Structure 1
Amino acid sequence: MTDHVSDHPYPFDAILLSSFGGPEGQDDVIPFLRNVTAGRGVPDERLEEVAHHYRHFGGVSPINAQNRALKAALEGELSKRGIALPVYWGNRNWAPYFKDAVAEAAANGHTRLLGLVTSAYTSYSGVGQYREDFEKALADNGLTETASVDRIREYFDHPGFVTPLIEGTQAAVKRLTDAGHAAPRIEILFSTHSIPTAAAKASGPEFGEHGAYEAQHLAVAEVISKAVNEAAGAEVPWKLVYQSRSGDPRVPWLEPDINDVIADLHDEGTASAVVVVPFGFVSDHMEVLWDLDNEAKESAAEAGLAFERVPTSGVHPAFVAGLVDLIVERLENTPVEQRPHLTALGPWPDHETVGAYIARETAEAAAR
């Protein structure tokens, strides 16, 4: 990758931590949900049905605090390695918005941004929509011709993301076996966000009926399961499950739902405990704290099953170090064969640049 500023040691001059965003008070909840559902014609009455999840926590989503913690951890790791790149933070659905983050960066002379997206897997909401967000942020600031945003690759099978999940799942299984639950009667439920089946297929139809989205999750579950079995000295069964479905009930979404699976385990009598691994998420935000720690836990109690929920990667040192490793990949243009990955699907490829940088590179290449 060409460096277009001769006195700068990197092909990028700042990091853009990119996330979903969340409300920070009761008055923010409905406006935030309007942002999330913009263009879908969802009435406020329906939004209020979802709002009680946030209102349960005082109208404050934990995601923004978690992103502040992640930003600070990234800044610390970058500094420790002597990488002099500032970290800006922007959200899709609530302040600080991408438009404002990009404007702040440009005002500080930083126009070659490397996006670090808090989504590990391939889907429209995790990839295509962020690209649209970046394009809009540049356009809204009049920077389409003078600034650019790249992004690190999807990191679903990067050791930095997976290692904390392995450790957490092994620890949860051990707690249950120490409490008297036999390993074959402990069911590991690998949980991720359900999406429309059409969107799943569009994520990469060459990977099967439900696209790259499902294939990536299955591959990571296999890696974690193998490590858990080795630590437990026995085979612990597992299933891929989905959660947090929303939208028109007439539209097919990925299944099975985690709560249905827990009920089935009760009916089948095959399990005495469940370990829920929210490996579709990078932090313990609302869809983890409410949908799992409240609803799924309650389903387990009703089914008479012991319940353990594994922490997300969050700001685990291995995850933070892994994210900086991914940044370094792009700074150094690391060859594909040297990029770490734990499944046969990886390493996932880089993305095309949004904005002026790639246009400039293409023009220069054509002139040579």
Structure 2
Amino acid sequence: MKYDALLVQSFGGPEGPDDVIPFLENVLRGRNVPRERMLEVAEHYQHFGGVSPINQQNRDLIAALEVELKEHGVDLPIYWGNRNWTPYLVDTLQQMKADGVGHALVFVTSVFSSYSGCRQYREDTAKAQAEIGEDAPRCDKIRTYFNHPGFIETMTECVNESLAQIPAERRDAAELVFTAHSIPLGMSENCNYVKQLEESCRLVSEATGHAKWRLVYQSRSGPPTQPWLEPDVCDVIRDLAKAGASDVIVSPIGFISDHMEVLFDLDTEAKDTAAEVGLNFIRSGTAGVRPRFVQMIRELIEERLNADQPKLAVGTMGPSHDFCPADCCLYTPQRPRPA
């Protein structure tokens, strides 16, 4: 299929103290999240000068990807649009239209399928296209890559680096904890989020040869009356210490870069929890701009440009679909907590 641009679509984040509250109001608009919780999250950003690292990480990824595409003869200009902060998606699509872009591939900076990580991005695109009107660029989302060998190899590299930091005599007993953003059960039950996460964790664990692993969640933001995926990473750290563990490696497999949920929720809160209970805490790296991950994005682009290009996937689930079905990642909000 012919495409004339690549759009990197992401979440967005504040770039100064005055941006924090407006940004969070964008994120939480229409959601039943108490204002006290919003202010609590705002304080997390202020710990870092009101600047989310996600925007610079996207700039770095785009720069690395431009080099990768050029070196392999893939001639696609790269654009960048966010859901919740500048550059806003609608402005980016307007610029693409002005530049003559008619049909773009879209790389979403979210690995796993859920309403927030898949369908909502497609809804954002449709809304922006409707605002622009006639001749808005067509946009096709690249398939999810939770079991692409490039992602698995990248995360395996990160975990192996962490395992190497533990003395050999304690390494086999170390607990490997994979984390991902918690989502409401009403969301998780209508998508393959948990199934995909479990497959990725299993594949990475097998590749490292480390059998002691578990999947946990972090960063929940909903009201207490709404059930979300559990267990929470900090609760698990406490439980591991009670069970006699000495070392824990926390791999944020649900995130492709070290943005706020990693820097605060893991590098601050989870690390502090581990220190309180006397557990050696090692936070594993994210994909970021590691060469194999950037190469993977190029491979995903090439498979859409060339019908003869093989769709790479490892494990038992096979490559994900190229085009989402109508009921993909639907969300039924406001599920009551079981009695």
TM-score (norm 1): 0.86
Alpha-carbon distance, 1:84 to partner: 1.3
The residue number in structure 1 matching 2:178 is 190
1:78 aligns to 2:42 (yes or no): no
Q: 1:57 to 1:333 in 2, by over 3 A?
A: same
Alpha-carbon distance, 1:41 to partner: 5.5
Letter in 2 for 1:156: F
| Structure 1 CA distance for aligned equivalents of residues 34 and 246 of structure 2 | 42
Task: Give the secondary-structure state (helix, strand or coil) at the position aligned to 2:51.
Answer: coil
Alpha-carbon distance, 1:134 to partner: 0.6
Task: Give the secondary-structure state (helix, strand or coil) at the position aligned to 1:246.
Answer: coil
The residue number in structure 1 matching 2:147 is 157
- How many residue pairs get matched? 326
| Structure 1 CA distance for aligned equivalents of residues 231 and 35 of structure 2 | 28
On the 8 A contact 2:33/2:223 being kept in 1, the answer is no
Alpha-carbon distance, 1:177 to partner: 2.8
The residue number in structure 2 matching 1:262 is 237
| Structure 2 CA distance for aligned equivalents of residues 177 and 238 of structure 1 | 18
On the 8 A contact 1:217/1:280 being kept in 2, the answer is yes
The residue number in structure 2 matching 1:65 is 56
| Structure 1 CA distance for aligned equivalents of residues 267 and 103 of structure 2 | 40
Alpha-carbon distance, 1:190 to partner: 0.6
Q: Which runs of 5+ in 1 are unaligned?
A: 2-10, 204-211, 230-234, 355-368
1:313 aligns to 2:313 (yes or no): no
Letter in 2 for 1:279: I
Alpha-carbon distance, 1:251 to partner: 0.6
On the 8 A contact 1:150/1:353 being kept in 2, the answer is no
Structure 1 segments of 4 or more deviating over 4 A? 41-45
Task: Give the secondary-structure state (helix, strand or coil) at the position aligned to 2:231.
Answer: coil
| Structure 2 CA distance for aligned equivalents of residues 82 and 249 of structure 1 | 51
| Structure 1 CA distance for aligned equivalents of residues 81 and 316 of structure 2 | 32
1:177 aligns to 2:157 (yes or no): no
Over aligned residues, Cα RMSD in angstroms?
1.6
1:248 aligns to 2:238 (yes or no): no
The residue number in structure 2 matching 1:364 is none
On the 8 A contact 1:194/1:244 being kept in 2, the answer is yes
The residue number in structure 2 matching 1:7 is none
Alpha-carbon distance, 1:352 to partner: 5.1
The residue number in structure 1 matching 2:252 is 278
Q: Which runs of 5+ in 2 are unaligned?
A: 327-339
| Structure 2 CA distance for aligned equivalents of residues 140 and 80 of structure 1 | 36
| Structure 2 CA distance for aligned equivalents of residues 31 and 223 of structure 1 | 40
Greater gyration radius: 1
Alpha-carbon distance, 1:114 to partner: 0.7
On the 8 A contact 2:93/2:136 being kept in 1, the answer is no
The residue number in structure 2 matching 1:232 is none
Letter in 1 for 2:181: H
Higher percent of residues as helix: 1
Q: 1:81 to 1:341 in 2, by over 3 A?
A: same
1:222 aligns to 2:212 (yes or no): no
